[in-house]
Structure 1
Amino acid sequence: MSWEFIRQYLPLYEQAAWLTLRLGLMGIALAVGIGLACAAVQYERVPVLRRIVGAYIELSRNTPLLIQLFFIYYGLPKLGIRTDAAACGVAGLAFLGGSYMAETFRSGLEAVDTVQTESALSLGMTRMQAMRYVILPQAASVSVPAFMANVIFLLKETSVFSAVSLMDLMFTAKDLIGLYSKTTESLFLLVVFYLIILLPVSLLGSLLERRLRYAGFGA
């Protein structure tokens, strides 16, 4: 183990980690928005849109992110839609993550007993008010474990961004291995930085899950 090599290239990994985290969080934020919209369509059983959403979820979940990135990065320019590598990575992560988030939110919504909705409506609430004040808070607490698991999964999936020439953590590690044959040191730094990114997210998810459970939700 060459500690001098690690010290020399540590700043390069720091830059790559910030890029990985920034693009990952942007993709996850878009995935949450897509997931909420798709879950609402499925929960409300909107006739035509429900089939479109179902087709999207099946397509997204049953194709690898790498293939999706290749289609966005190399395929869309053939249709006249040009994008850069960073936008491609965010779009790919949002496309993949949206389907997983949609299923997470849908399962949370369907876990809420229908009597909750009926009680809210009987009290004079509108459908939107019942969704906002009664259904969503309970569904959110039920969805927390799966939601945090999806966040961690999507952050790990950023490792394929290197396929479209993004200088993320994986690209940096592979580049240094190819240039200097320092496999052990490069992979050591790769593991360390992924732990730095993912471990706090995992701990935050566990803390949030316990707090919600102790508050009386998600039992």
Structure 2
Amino acid sequence: MLDFLNLAQLYFPYILRGAIVTLELTVLALIGSIVLGLLTAFARMSKQRWLRAAAGTYIELIRATPALLQLFIIYFGLTSFDIRLDPFSAAVLTLGLIGGAYAAEVFRAGIEAVDRGQYEAARSLGMPSPLAMRRIILPQAAVLILPPFTNFVIAMVKDTSLALTIAVPEIMYRSYDAASQSFRSLEIYVMAGIIYVAICLPLSQLAKGLERRRVPR
């Protein structure tokens, strides 16, 4: 135990600094995911067939291919078109594209769960469709999607570990580096796990609390 504490004193602060990068990746990717997810969700519900087809194709392509492959295409593959992104930007873009596909389905399910009659009532009162969506439908849908969206955020935090493969200095990259230096892989990766738990466990409890509030008594 004393040996572990000595090792933690030496390497834990170094790994913990990677948590800042992990959180930065998560926040920026989430912003992109929300914007792209909403646009894709509306496209999926559009009356325009080509919009529905484009949105559906995007979602299925993301779902049908590994996230690591998508990261490599963006970081390495785009260089064929003379597009060179730094590792952090490539990771944010990839996670945002992946998140947008999954967020779109969460948003669509929440919007479609709101009683259609409320939208029709707002339209019958002369409220423009975008205004009805913004003031009537989306606020109610937001309540419904909060629990699954919180779980989505947790998955996003864990998916940032993919950035290790392109040398973004997040938690897993620093853990791998520390394990290579110390030759104490088990202890080092336990430290990384502690940090992930500290980030994700409060979010998990929040998701459970929100889910309980949705269940009628």
Match of 2:46 among 44, 47, 53: 44
SS at 1:7 equivalent: helix
Q: Which residue of 2 aligns with 1:198?
A: 200
Structure 1 position 49, deviation (Å): 1.9
Q: For 1:44, what is the secondary structure of its paired residue? A: coil
Identity over aligned pairs, percent: 38
Could you tell me the TM-score, scaled by structure 1's length? Answer: 0.92
Root-mean-square deviation (Å): 1.8
1:43·1:109 contact (CA, 8 Å) conserved in 2?
no
Distance 2:129 2:145 in 1: 21
SS for the counterpart of 2:65 is: coil
Name the SS of the counterpart of 2:104 in structure 1.
helix
The correspondence of residues 157-172 of structure 1 with structure 2, limited to 5 A, is 157-172=159-174
* Aligned mate of 2:102, from 100, 105, 111: 100
Q: CA deviation at 1:64?
A: 1.4
CA displacement 1:18-54 (0-9 Å, x = unmatched): 1111111111111111001111111233322221111
Q: How far apart, in 2, do the equivalents of 1:116 and 1:44 lie?
A: 18
Residue 103 of structure 2 aligns with an amino acid whose one-letter code is M
Q: Cα offset for 1:101?
A: 0.2
Write the deviation string for residues 171-193 of structure 1: whole angstroms up to 9, x where unpaired.
12222222221122101111110
Post-superposition offset of 1:209: 4.5
User: Pick from 180, 183, 197: which aligns with 1:181?
Assistant: 183
Q: Any stretches of 5+ residues in structure 2 without a counterpart?
A: none
1:61 corresponding residue in structure 2: 63
Contact 2:33 2:97 survives alignment (8 Å): yes
Q: Tell me if the contact between 1:39 and 1:102 (Cα under 8 Å) persists in the aligned partners.
A: yes
Per the alignment, residue 123 of structure 1 pairs with: 125
Q: Distance in 2 between matches of 1:18 and 1:196?
A: 13
* TM-score, scaled relative to structure 2: 0.92
What stretches of structure 1 of length at least 5 have no aligned partner? none
